[in-house]
Structure 1
Amino acid sequence: MFNNLPSDKSPLLGSYCAEDCLFLLKNIKPKFYTIEDKERLIQTGVMHYSEMVSQESAPSKDYYELFVKLTAQYKQRLAVEVLQLAKKIIENRHGDICLVSLVRAGTPIGVLLNRAINAYSQVNSAHYSISIIRDKGIDENALDYLIFDQKIKPESIVFVDGWTAKGVMTEELKKAVQHYNMRRNLNLSEQLFVISDIGGTADFSATYDDYAIPSALMNSTVSGLVSRSVLNEQIKADDFHGCISYSHLENHDRSNWFIDQITDCFKLSDFQSPLQNEALSAQTRQSMTRTFLQEIMREHHVSNKNRIKPGIAEATRVMLRRVPDLLIVKDKLNPSTVHLLKLAREKNIDVVEMNEMPFGACALIKDVK
């Protein structure tokens, strides 16, 4: 599944074709940790989250059917938002574009944006997916590969992700790009383009709404069968950041199916239509997020804000990949949170309804220390 392309430092294909996405990652030997062990090691400071991955299993039949249903429900909306974000990217760059998505939530969005730009503009676009890790920064070897090996113009590089919440990765990106620019005497733009900017921290977004972007429901089976990026002892100084191949899930892979579902909804008229003004500004979203986090920390006695994951997408990741303690939803009848309620039932996690919450959902990670 992980085919190498001919090069001294070969990108990975994952389960996408080369025209859709090249992963600048190193395939490493897997050493899997249980979710419980991983959580304990993270919270006790023994290991950084980026040093460990868990084995992934196929989604249950019921959960997969929920993913298919939500894809059908939101694919038209997501298609319009991808086209509008693609238009924003073109308007903010001159000439050809190199999309650099942030593994792994950004990867499917990068594939969609790449298809949109190549289909509806006179601009040529290529798409690479690279690693950025909280507290560790961006993969500078991957950026070097693009700029110095592939001779990609720095001004053509555009960073994209799926969504923002608290803005931790937005801040990490800006800090990392500034550091890279200083080291390499370059002027890469640190701007971040996302579909849903629920925390108001990205530079450009298609919406501030918190809804179930369907790709957020799944792990590797909607992201090219690639794991979250890894930075452990297997990664040498000149390597790309690492990843694990989940090729055992090949029969359950819906990465390309999902992309086709969305791109089949693309329309030239949507690409050409004027952008809609948002009801709330980014500054308003930031203020609401800060207030909400303070309230949750106080009410639920949370000392580390890293244990609070606001937004439907981030809450989903907690329910799938972490040890959840509590699920908070704005409205239990919201179709965008049906999958979260199902996961909560399966894991015997308490659910609280909080109608005044500025997000569709929020999950708290359990204190396992």
Structure 2
Amino acid sequence: MNNALSTFSGSYAPDDVQFLLRRLHGQAFVSVEDKEALIQSGRHHYSEMLSAEALPSARHLELFDAACEANRARMAADCLRLAHLLAARRAGQITLVSLARAGTPVGVIVKRLLQRVFHRHVVHYAVSIVRDRGIDEAALRAILAHHVPASIAFVDGWTGKGVIARELEMSVERFNMRHHVRIDPGLFVLSDLAGAAAHAASDADYLIPSSILNATVSGLVSRTVAERDMGPDDFHGCLVYDEFAAHDRSRTFADDIAAAALELAAAGTPAPAAIDRERSAATSRECLRTIAQRYGIADVNLIKPGIGEATRVLLRRVPRLLLLRDADAADVAHLRLLAREKDVPVVVDPTLPYQGVSLIRRKGDA
């Protein structure tokens, strides 16, 4: 397949990002329930299947708008801090590589801030990474055909358990050894709950508004797919929901957060916060241990801590339980709505270190 034909910008402006993904056509959808059964039986990896996305309901959009209003300034400040960290750690041109798709809205915003506030030359690509299968190596090779390894910086929205941050580190190190290059595998994120990112603007579990929506805040791009029959030079795949274009918020969201960040920058760039990664990692480990023991969970992949990860479970997996620290907190209003829509029980636990945690239903759970 010709990957060059699949380089596109989704619903973003071409200067905002180039997706290094293959556009799939005629993809067969698998229901959420069937997908969960196939994953847990080991018959298929989660990255081999897609469930159809639906447009968010009017109430869902109201919650997204409320999240944007409430956390606009906080996310803008963290994007500015992340741009500060990137500018300090990369000389010359910066090649931003966001992890599709949660990292892509952040990459679009941070690219603009690096250009306008820090006066840096930046290009931005979005690539796929898959748990247990690693970074899309064909996409990395395509980037290296045009950019030096030292310019590359990986960006994502947040860490939950830190699985993707560790997957990135391992797979990029393998790539480096195989190709005799030196790409820094460290991840830059807005919020690092797990203490797993190399650099983070924050370690707080707050509602990053883009976590509420799927394709309509991520350039109309689906979750990425790594099919079994891919060739060594094929990019990972995705669908583009062109039919959702009238409902797309991708550009307006990025425009709004970037504008807020530029207003903050005019008053002085906020310094990056000091992050205690060891403390965050210890908190994450203890939270996973306690929840696994309390609910009889042998596979920690079934525990998804933090607002962002809890949201993903409620949107595209089969949830067993939603744990909330404070059911009345504004940041978890969308989680309550999604749990109600899916008839998922909610347990309030004031001792949680995070605002929310979702548990995935195992085969055989009552």
Which TM-score band applies after superposition, normalised by the shorter structure?
over 0.9
Amino acid at match of 1:291: E
1:230-255 Cα deviation digits (max 9, x unpaired): 01145322111111121221221111
RMSD: 1.5
1-side partners of 2:223 and 2:6: how far apart?
19
Are 2:337 and 1:331 aligned? no
Per-residue CA distance 1:126-149 (angstroms, 9 max, x = gap): 11000000010111110110112x
Report matched runs for 1:102-117 at 5 Å: 102-117=99-114
Q: Which residue of 1 aligns with 2:243?
A: 248
The CA distance in 2 between the partners of 1:169 and 1:276, in whole Å, is 23
Partner of 2:68: 71
Query: Counterpart in 1 of 2:150?
Result: 155
1:101 corresponds to 2:98: yes
| More moved, 125-134 vs 346-355 | 346-355
In 2, the alpha carbon distance for the partners of 1:8 and 1:101 equals 18
Secondary structure in 1 aligned to 2:183?
coil
Deviations 1:241-283 (A, max 9, x none): 11112122122111111111111212365374352544x6110
| Aligned partner letter, 2:138 | N
Q: Deviations over 1:217-241 (max 9, x none)?
A: 0111100111111011453221111
| Structure 1 residue aligned with 2:32 | 35
Q: Which among 275, 279, 284 is matched to residue 271 of structure 2?
A: 275
1:168 to 157, 163, 166: 163
Q: Distance in 1 between matches of 2:144 and 2:154?
A: 14
Distance, in Å, in 1 between the alignment partners of 2:4 and 2:325 is: 50
Identity %: 42
Contact 1:235–1:242 under 8 Å retained in 2: no
Output the CA distance in 2 between the equivalents of 1:284 and 1:343.
31
Q: Which of 127, 136, 141 is the aligned partner of 1:139? A: 136
Provide the rounded CA distance (Å) in 2 between the counterparts of 1:268 and 1:152: 31
- SS of the residue corresponding to residue 325 of structure 1 reads strand
Tell me the distance in 2 between the aligned counterparts of 1:53 and 1:21. 23
| Counterpart in the other structure of 1:315 | 310
Whole-Å separation in 2 of the counterparts to 1:336 and 1:84: 22
Does residue 1:222 correspond to 2:211, yes or no?
A: no
Match runs of 1:267-306 below 5 Å: 267=262, 270=265, 272-275=268-271, 277-278=273-274, 281-306=276-301
Equivalent positions of 1:187-198 (< 5 A) are 187-198=182-193
2:213 equivalent to 1:235: no
CA contact (8 A) 1:120 1:268 kept: no
2:49 aligns to what?
Answer: 52
Shifted more, 328-337 versus 10-19: the winner is 10-19
Q: State TM-score, norm by structure 2.
A: 0.96
Q: Distance in 2 between matches of 1:7 and 1:239?
A: 6
Q: Could you say what secondary structure the match of 1:328 adopts? A: strand
The residue number in structure 1 matching 2:180 is 185
User: Does residue 15 of structure 1 match 2:5?
Assistant: no
Match of 2:77 in 1: 80
Query: Partners of 1:234 and 1:129 in 2: how far apart?
Result: 22
**TM-score normalized by structure 1?**
0.95
The residue type paired with residue 221 of structure 1 is T
Distance 1:357 1:80 in 2: 26
Alignment check: 8 A CA contact 1:316 1:340 kept: yes
CA distance in structure 2 between the partners assigned to 1:18 and 1:269 by the alignment: 26
For structure 2, the residue ranges without an aligned partner over 5 or more in a row are: none
- 1:364 aligned partner, one-letter code: L
- Retained in 1: the 8 A contact 2:139–2:235? yes
Q: Tell me how far 1:7 sits from its aligned partner.
A: 8.2
Go from structure 1 to structure 2 and tell me whether the alpha carbon gap of 1:352 and 1:89 turns closer, same or farther (over 3 Å shift): same
Contact map agreement 2:202 2:273 (CA 8 A) in 1:
no
Tell me the number of residue pairs that the alignment of Structure 1 and Structure 2 aligns.
361
- The CA distance in 1 between the partners of 2:61 and 2:244, in whole Å, is 13
